[in-house]
């Protein structure tokens, strides 16, 4: 949609379900950096890559040894690799273009989430958040895992290394209990900052720890009001805001006071300024200068728990899904804290969602494995082309002027063009967009993939067309128009809904509602068939 014909007063957030995608049972999703490709992890262990422009499948990544459900997917910075975590405790790094497995390792606990290091062009380091242990820094090439501290009492432990098979010096086994005697781990959320030099950990005590993952030292901590367990933590695309989702049913937004570049050096300077305080007060003082509470979001009426909250691509909006079973509902707030939209979908639980990096589009995953695409319901403003353009509410008969379509002789000659027609035009080189390009980009991004053709499968509406055609052949010949309509699949089965047809099929489908013409045609044809069958009996 061209910008001039869009009403600028409309909010840039989605409003309606535009379409939905189906391929097996999808569990989690992630956009690439430009939003041109969408990766989805499936329950059968495969990872399907959708071309989001054409809404077709561009690549399917499948390992014959992996049959467990995918728990998370993550793109590398330039889109060349995808990291997949699975319920069988494995982490797999894929080459997207070649469709080949680069590396695979196994950790001791099932990873709920895994994220690649954002600052590396050839990623081999990732951050994994297991189900019942502390977050890990994992080297995918050497299968060495390092445990991150998750509490201030852990400053003296958590430095040990273990290999991918879980054998080592016992660092992980010692993590079955906290230093203060707490018996068990709850899932701990963690994420890299924009440059990847720091890790922000949200623990079960309601604290945000800022950790240097190279030295495994806690550099600062920020206590959260309410002390609820932090379930999700993530940065905005520009790295200026941090989002947390706590067990107290509140989404909090913090402003990142550290510079995007050189955050580790800034922490060193802050630590030098507070050298006279004891260690805990010093870490707390540094934390107060790193993060500042900006906004809090919650539903004070229903007190709903939140699922997969995240920022919009420009950081101006915040979306959170309802964790209630049996409803597919998302809440959208602006950064000022106002609730601007509630999106309600089918009666299916929401398990994951993602906001498009550039466009006002939200993609959500339902419990049944369907991916819904929520887009804006645009109101076109065609008067932007000409001030005297008149928009009509309904069709009107146009009365032409008497001389409106008379031939008018040429009044002036066409001006000569100053363009050099002999100059060669480069149609191959793609210029980098300064808006989306980083100064540290060392290699080209992958924005699109060549689509692999898939064989056509006869669906239920096609069989319905064949049945109608055969019934017509018994009474009269079929017209060429009817044959062409049946071959193109314009006739559909109106008794079946998109959500009820062939839920177990693995081929991609994009559903369309049958037109009113098709409904009228089927009803009229059934009446004629009944009357024709009754005629011989009456005679």
Checking if the pLDDT of 65 tops 60, the result is yes
Max CA pair span of the chain? 109
Residue 222 resides in a domain: yes
Beta bridge partners of 113: 129
Q: Are residues 364 and 494 in the same domain?
A: no
Q: Are residues 86 and 224 in the same domain?
A: yes
For position 214, which CATH number holds?
Answer: 2.130.10.10
Q: State the burial class of residue 313 (Cβ atoms within 10 Å of its Cβ: 0-12, 13-18, 19+).
A: buried
- Give the pLDDT of residue 416: 62
| pLDDT mean across residues, the chain | 80
- Give the pLDDT of residue 35: 95
Q: Are residues 225 and 88 in the same domain?
A: yes
Model pTM score = 0.74
Q: How far apart are the first and last CA of the chain?
A: 62
- Residue 178 phi/psi, 5-degree rounding, is -75, 165
Residue 308 CA neighbour count, 13 Å, CB half: 26
**What's the Rg (C-alpha) of the chain?**
29
In whole angstroms, give the CA distance from residue 520 to residue 513. 14
Spatial neighbors of 511 by CB under 8 A, at least 6 apart, are: 19, 20, 22, 498
Helix 460-475 / helix 516-538 crossing angle, nearest 10 deg: 40
Q: Which of 307-316, 461-470, 489-498 has the highest mean pLDDT?
A: 307-316
CB 127 within 8 A of CB 114: yes
Q: Are residues 224 and 362 in the same domain?
A: yes
Domain count within the chain: 2
Helix 480-487 / helix 460-475 crossing angle, nearest 10 deg: 160
Supply 46's token pair.
Answer: 């495969």
Return the percentage of the chain with pLDDT > 70, whole number.
Answer: 71
Q: State the burial class of residue 492 (Cβ atoms within 10 Å of its Cβ: 0-12, 13-18, 19+).
A: buried
Residue 387 resides in a domain: no
CB 267 within 8 A of CB 219: yes
175 DSSP assignment:
G
CB 81 within 8 A of CB 116: yes
- Give the pLDDT of residue 529: 59
CB 31 within 8 A of CB 37: yes
Q: Which of 140-149, 179-188, 215-224, 234-243 has the lowest mean pLDDT?
A: 179-188
Residue 383 resides in a domain: no
C-alpha of 392 from chain center: 38
Nearest Cα to 278, choosing from 149, 154, 157, 152?
152
Residue 1 resides in a domain: no
Domain boundary among the residues 375, 394, 428 is at 375
Residue 253: how many other CB atoms lie within 10 Å: 21
* CA dihedral angle for residue 80, residue 84, residue 90, residue 95, rounded to 10 degrees: -20
Q: Are residues 510 and 363 in the same domain?
A: no
Q: Are residues 472 and 350 in the same domain?
A: no
Q: pLDDT tens digits for 335-392?
A: 889 999 999 999 999 999 999 999 999 999 999 999 999 999 877 777 777 777 787 8
Q: Are residues 358 and 475 in the same domain?
A: no
- Give the pLDDT of residue 436: 57
Residue 307 resides in a domain: yes
- Give the pLDDT of residue 499: 40
- Give the pLDDT of residue 522: 62
Checking if the pLDDT of 466 tops 50, the result is no
CB 15 within 8 A of CB 360: no
In whole angstroms, give the CA distance from residue 522 to residue 486. 13
Q: Give the residue with greater pLDDT, 485 vs 291.
A: 291
Q: Are residues 473 and 361 in the same domain?
A: no
C-alpha of 470 from chain center: 45
Domain boundary among the residues 354, 375, 396 is at 375
Beta bridge partners of 72: 85
Spatial neighbors of 419 by CB under 8 A, at least 6 apart, are: none
Residue 38: how many other CB atoms lie within 10 Å: 24
CB 350 within 8 A of CB 28: no
Residue 436 resides in a domain: no
Q: Sorting pLDDT into bands at 50, 70 and 90, what band is 457?
A: low
- Give the pLDDT of residue 421: 76
Q: pLDDT tens digits for 384-401?
A: 777 777 878 889 998 888
In whole angstroms, give the CA distance from residue 122 to residue 100. 15
Q: Are residues 348 and 212 in the same domain?
A: yes
Q: pLDDT tens digits for 104-126?
A: 999 999 999 999 999 877 789 99
Checking if the pLDDT of 512 tops 50, the result is no
- Residue 531 phi/psi, 5-degree rounding, is -65, -35
- Give the pLDDT of residue 527: 62
- Give the pLDDT of residue 198: 96
C-alpha of 304 from chain center: 22
H helix or E strand, kind and range, residue 467: helix 460-475
- Residue 138 phi/psi, 5-degree rounding, is -115, 130
Residue 423 resides in a domain: no
Domain boundary among the residues 326, 343, 375 is at 375
Q: Are residues 362 and 222 in the same domain?
A: yes
Supply 511's token pair.
Answer: 């559903």
Q: Are residues 125 and 225 in the same domain?
A: yes
Domain span including residue 484: 460-538
Checking if the pLDDT of 498 tops 90, the result is no
- Residue 480 phi/psi, 5-degree rounding, is -60, -35
Q: What length is written for the chain?
A: 539
Q: Are residues 326 and 464 in the same domain?
A: no
Q: pLDDT tens digits for 164-178?
A: 444 433 333 334 444
């Amino acid at each position: 949609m061209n910008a001039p014909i869009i009403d600028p007063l409309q909010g840039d957030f989605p409003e309606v379900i535009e379409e939905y995608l189906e391929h097996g049972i999808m569990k989690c999703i992630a956009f690439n950096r430009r939003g041109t490709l969408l990766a989805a992890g499936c329950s059968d262990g495969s990872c399907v890559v959708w071309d989001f422009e054409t809404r077709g499948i561009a690549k399917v990544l499948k390992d014959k040894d992996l049959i467990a459900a995918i728990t998370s997917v993550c793109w590398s910075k330039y889109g060349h690799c995808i990291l997949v975590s699975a319920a069988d405790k494995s982490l797999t790094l894929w080459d997207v273009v070649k469709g080949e497995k680069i590396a695979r390792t196994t950790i001791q606990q099932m990873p709920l989430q895994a994220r690649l290091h954002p600052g590396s062009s050839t990623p081999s380091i990732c951050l994994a958040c297991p189900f019942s242990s502390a977050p890990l820094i994992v080297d995918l090439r050497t299968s060495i895992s390092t445990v991150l501290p998750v509490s201030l009492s852990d400053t003296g432990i958590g430095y040990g290394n273990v290999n991918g098979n879980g054998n080592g010096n016992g660092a992980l086994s010692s993590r079955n209990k906290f230093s203060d005697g707490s018996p068990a781990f709850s899932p701990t959320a963690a994420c890299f900052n924009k440059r990847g030099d720091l890790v922000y950990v949200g623990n079960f005590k309601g604290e945000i720890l800022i950790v240097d993952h190279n030295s495994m030292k806690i550099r600062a901590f920020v206590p959260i009001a309410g002390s609820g367990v932090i379930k999700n933590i993530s940065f905005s695309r520009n790295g200026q805001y941090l989002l947390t989702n706590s067990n107290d049913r509140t989404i909090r937004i913090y402003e990142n006071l550290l510079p995007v570049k050189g955050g580790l050096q800034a922490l060193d300077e802050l630590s030098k300024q507070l050298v006279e305080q004891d260690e805990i007060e010093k870490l707390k003082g540094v934390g107060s200068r790193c993060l500042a509470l900006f906004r809090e979001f919650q539903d004070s009426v229903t007190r709903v728990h939140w699922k997969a909250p995240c920022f919009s691509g420009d950081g101006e909006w915040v979306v959170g899904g309802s964790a209630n079973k049996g409803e597919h509902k998302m809440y959208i707030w602006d950064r000022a804290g106002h609730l601007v939209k509630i999106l309600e979908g089918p009666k299916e639980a929401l398990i994951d969602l993602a906001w498009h990096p550039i466009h006002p589009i939200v993609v959500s995953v339902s419990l049944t494995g369907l991916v819904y695409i929520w887009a804006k319901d645009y109101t076109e403003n065609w008067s932007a082309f000409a001030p005297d353009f008149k928009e009509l509410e309904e069709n009107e008969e146009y009365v032409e002027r008497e001389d409106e379509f008379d031939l008018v002789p040429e009044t002036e000659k066409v001006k000569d063009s100053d363009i050099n027609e002999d100059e060669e035009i480069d149609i191959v080189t793609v210029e980098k967009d300064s808006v989306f390009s980083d100064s540290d980009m060392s290699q080209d991004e992958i924005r699109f993939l060549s689509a692999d053709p898939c064989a056509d499968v006869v669906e239920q509406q096609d069989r319905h067309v064949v049945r109608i055609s055969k019934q017509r052949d018994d009474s009269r010949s079929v017209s060429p128009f009817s044959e062409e309509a049946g071959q193109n699949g314009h006739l559909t089965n109106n008794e079946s809904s998109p959500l009820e047809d062939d839920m177990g099929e693995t081929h991609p489908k994009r559903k369309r509602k049958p037109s009113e013409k098709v409904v009228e045609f089927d009803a009229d044809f059934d009446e004629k068939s009944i009357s024709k069958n009754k005629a011989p009996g009456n005679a």
